[in-house]
């Protein structure tokens, strides 16, 4: 089956999402490790991805952990610095696909509040034909529910979708549903995948 739409994850595909790097610079690696050991910050973020209010969740977590309250609040107040930089090769691929007439979708575990901040920093996030955002959908990867919602909304057969994500569990669920998949480990491999599927030519990504 031919590919009719390419589906991008956002974090670690189009934008680096490694909060530890930000906190290493802010606190030093040892204090950052101590904070992340004491508090499940990624679990906190998963609540936001699932649709809870961005500020309320972060500030509530900060209030519950007064020893770390100030750096925890950075997760909200300085989020665009946590979610940076963009991954230029992936942005080029997104725009090249659009220029070639290929539909491009986003499927991301991200809150509505965090997406609003990201859009202000990264205009390319408004360039998708369709966006599937977990915080709005109240479903998260790798739950099969969110993939089924994508299929129902876009009306395309699973095999017509090519999905790039940096997490193997997210890829596995998509593949089990019949999607074509690519485990993202860098923009070079993703570019090679798109060229191998005949969606782009190497010159399109120069």
Give the containing element (helix H, strand E) for 183.
strand 180-183
Where the chain has pLDDT below 70, the residues are 1
| Closest CA relative to residue 163, chosen from 54, 1, 2, 3 | 3
Per-residue model confidence (pLDDT) at position 27: 98
Distance CA 199, CA 6 (A): 9
User: What are the tens digits of pLDDT across the range 90-104?
Assistant: 999 999 999 999 999
Distance CA 100, CA 98 (A): 5
Distance CA 58, CA 49 (A): 12
Residue 142, preceding bond cis, omega within 30 degrees? Answer: yes
| Closest CA relative to residue 11, chosen from 162, 199, 140, 161 | 140
Per-residue model confidence (pLDDT) at position 32: 98
Distance CA 163, CA 36 (A): 31
Radius of gyration of the chain (CA): 18
Distances in whole angstroms, Cα of residue 194 to Cα of each of 105, 151, 182:
15, 21, 10
Distance CA 17, CA 31 (A): 20
Structure-derived torsion over alpha carbons of residues 65, 71, 75, 76, reported in degrees to the nearest 10 = 90
Per-residue model confidence (pLDDT) at position 155: 97
């Amino acid at each position: 089956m031919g590919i009719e739409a390419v589906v991008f994850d956002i974090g670690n595909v189009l934008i680096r999402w490694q909060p530890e790097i930000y906190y290493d610079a802010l606190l030093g690696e040892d204090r950052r490790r101590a904070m992340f050991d004491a508090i499940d910050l990624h679990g906190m973020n998963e609540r936001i991805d699932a649709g809870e209010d961005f500020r309320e969740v972060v500030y509530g977590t900060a209030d519950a952990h007064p020893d770390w309250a100030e750096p925890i609040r950075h997760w909200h107040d300085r989020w665009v610095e946590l979610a940076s930089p963009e991954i230029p090769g992936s942005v080029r691929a997104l725009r090249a696909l659009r220029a070639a007439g290929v539909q491009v979708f986003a499927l991301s575990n991200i809150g509505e509040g965090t997406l609003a901040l990201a859009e202000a920093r990264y205009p390319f996030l408004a360039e998708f034909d369709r966006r599937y955002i977990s915080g709005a959908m109240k479903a998260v990867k790798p739950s099969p529910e969110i993939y089924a919602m994508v299929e129902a909304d876009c009306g395309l057969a699973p095999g017509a979708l090519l999905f790039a994500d940096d997490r193997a569990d997210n890829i596995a669920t998509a593949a089990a549903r019949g999607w074509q998949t690519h485990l993202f480990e860098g923009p070079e491999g993703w570019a090679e995948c798109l060229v191998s599927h005949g969606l782009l030519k190497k010159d399109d990504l120069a």
